Amino acid sequence: MAFSRIIRKSSSTIAPLAARVIGGQSFRQTAAVFSVLNRRTHSPSRWPTSTYFSSRRYSTDRRSSDESLLRIIESEIKCAEESDQHEGEVPDGFPFKIEDNPGQQTITLTREYQGETILVEVSMPDLVTGEDDDDNAADDEERAVQSSIPLVVNISKKDRPSLEFGCTAFPDEITIDSLSLKNPEISDDQIAYEGPDFSDLDENLQKAFHKYLEIRGIKPSATNFLHEYMINKDSKEYLMWLNNVKKFVEA
């Protein structure tokens, strides 16, 4: 009995002591962990500072680059305005109605002629005439220094296929590069026979087609005016493009 009381008394004394010892160790460990975390949290970091200065440097570089670009664009706009030519008047007897939409690379000419609808698409002037041909080396050499305008001439009749000519208009001369018969009933998935190369046709037949176009208004007196018209349009489109680019950079 006495021995049992001694054991119980010792147990009651040792248990609180062990708890205090273990609890003290746990507390010290926990405190140590929080101390480390606290030092990490409040220690100064170089990363945000580096990011801040990098952002400022890139922002400064971009602003300087944009300002330099704008100065060059404004200088080019001034030169384009000084060299801009005024649009010439449509000559008397010009048989086509002109449809010119700003921002487009082409203009469209339309005309009704004795039951036919004639539609001409005129593109921007071009100084390149294409690959040299050994048989026409002299002509190609002469045309290489001349400006030209590409034309697509479509002549249609009601409920019938249309004739489509691909032409190049030089000063005082028009060449026919291609001729095809377009059938609106044939879908795009079908490949229709459009005829031989125009240069392979009989020479008399080629001359007859040139006369065919001339009667319908595709002749040098008309294309020479169109040549000047398209050069002026090219200048206006370029000036408008420069101003649009400037607005984008400024925004």
| Residue for token pair 């087609």 | 209
| Residues ≥6 apart with Cβ < 8 Å to 226 | 122, 149, 169
Residue 153: count other Cβ atoms within 10 Å of its Cβ: 22
Cα 223 from Cα 30, distance rounded (Å): 93
The top-scoring range by mean pLDDT among 138-152, 158-172, 175-189 is 158-172
Confidence of residue 147 (pLDDT cuts 50, 70, 90): confident
Are 148 and 169 spatial neighbours (Cβ–Cβ below 8 Å)? yes
Q: Supply the DSSP symbol for 122.
A: E
Q: What pLDDT is attached to residue 169?
A: 96
Note the pLDDT of residue 129: 42
* pLDDT tens, residue by residue, 23-50: 444 444 444 444 544 554 454 554 455 5
Segment among 63-67, 120-124, 225-229 with least mean pLDDT: 63-67
Rounded to a whole number, what is the distance in angstroms from the first to the last CA of the chain?
98
The single-letter code of the amino acid at 50 is: S
Per-residue pLDDT at 7: 39
Band (251; pLDDT cuts 50, 70, 90):
confident
Q: What is the pLDDT of residue 209?
A: 98
Can you tell me the distance from the alpha carbon of 111 to that of 98, in angstroms, rounded to the nearest whole number?
9
CA 194 to chain centre: 32
**pTM value?**
0.67
- Mean predicted lDDT score pLDDT of the chain: 78
The average pLDDT across 49-78 equals 78
